[in-house]
Structure formats: C-alpha cells, structure tokens
Amino acid sequence: MRFVDRICNILAVFAGVSLVLVMFAIVLQASLRTMGFSGSSHIFTFSEYGLLYIAMAASPWLVRLRGHVFIEMFTAVLPRSFAPLFSRIISGLCILICLFLVWYTGEATLKAYRFGDTDMRSLDMPKWLLLGAMPICFALMAAQFSRFVFGPDTLHSGEAGVHE
C-alpha cells in the first residue's frame, strides 16, 4: 500500500496545483475581458478538463484520509458491536462500485481510443485523454477503500457531528 499511497500523494499534489492554475487562468481571462481584450478561448476548455482531472486525482487521497462527505448519524446510533461490521460492509460496497466504474470507464476509454473519438471545443482533444484518468483513479479508490475492509481501521467513526 505504500506505493499506492505515494501515487495518491502525487495525484493530490497534481490536483492542488491544477486547482490553483485553473483559478489563476479564470481570473486572468475575466480580467482580460474586463479590460476589453478577448483573452483565449482555450482557457475555459482547459478549465473544464482541469476540473475533471482535479476531481479524479484528489479522490483516492480523500478516501484514504476519510475526507469524502458521508453522514455519521446512522452509524452513531448503531450498536457498538455492529458498527465496525456495518462500516466494513459499506466500504466493501464502495469497492464494488469503484470496480464497476473501473470497468465501465475503462471500456469507454478504450472505445474512444479505438474509434479515435475527439472532444470538439475550442481545442480538439482526443477523448481517451479525458477519460483515461477515470479507470486509474477509480482503481486507486478501490484500493484505498480496501484498507477499511481488511485493515484495522474502519471508514466510519460512529460519532455524529463534525470532527475536524
């Protein structure tokens, strides 16, 4: 898992840097338009692509840190003896969903590559480049969820409320 953690850390840094770059690009574009310049039509296209990559790249890291949004109200009222098992069942379900999405997005990526599909906006981008991050990151999320099924920790704390 150490190798997977390193990959997830690198992807999280990539997501953070990309988020800052997208923010600056949008501010630059808006400023140029305010000053009467046309700016670049590619900025919004790259921003849209960037948002997809940011969400996908940060997700495995967030799973590891339990940073995704989930509600603890239900697990807080479960009997203490059943709560860990319930949390492991939920994590197992998350693995199954992620693995289904690995298969589905992997098929879509391969199909886009085989047929040479292109996403046509201000810039024509091979569609497989857009979709390629999805099967990789869903596989990493499945690996991260597996630590909550097979490891000593569970995904849920069993305590309702905000814990930061």
Containing domain of residue 106, as a range? 2-150
List, for residues 38-54, the tens digit of each pLDDT value. 878 888 888 989 999 99
Do 35 and 116 meet the contact criterion of CB atoms below 8 Å apart?
no
Residue 156 belongs to some domain of the structure = no
Distant-in-sequence, close-in-space partners of 25: CB < 8 Å, separation ≥ 6:
43, 46, 47
Residue 43 belongs to some domain of the structure = yes
The first and second tokens of residue 72, run together, are 């603890």
Residue 161 belongs to some domain of the structure = no
The first and second tokens of residue 21, run together, are 């770059």
The share of the chain scoring above pLDDT 90, in percent, equals 65
Residue 8 belongs to some domain of the structure = yes
Which of 141, 116, 139 is CA-nearest to residue 127? 116
Residue 133 belongs to some domain of the structure = yes
Residue 86 belongs to some domain of the structure = yes
Residue 159 belongs to some domain of the structure = no
The number of residues in the chain equals: 164
| pLDDT greater than 70 at residue 164 | no
Q: Give Cα separations from 45 to 20, 88, 118 (angstroms).
A: 16, 40, 14
Residue 162 belongs to some domain of the structure = no
| pLDDT greater than 70 at residue 160 | no
| pLDDT greater than 90 at residue 113 | yes
pTM assigned to the model:
0.87
List, for residues 66-99, the tens digit of each pLDDT value. 887 676 777 777 888 888 898 899 999 999 999 9
The residue that leads in pLDDT, 124 or 94, is 94
Sort 75 into a burial class: Cβ within 10 Å, 0-12 / 13-18 / 19+: buried
Mean model confidence pLDDT for the chain: 90
Confidence band, pLDDT 50/70/90 cuts, at residue 55: very high
The first and second tokens of residue 134, run together, are 């999805």
Question: Domains in the chain: how many in total?
Answer: 1
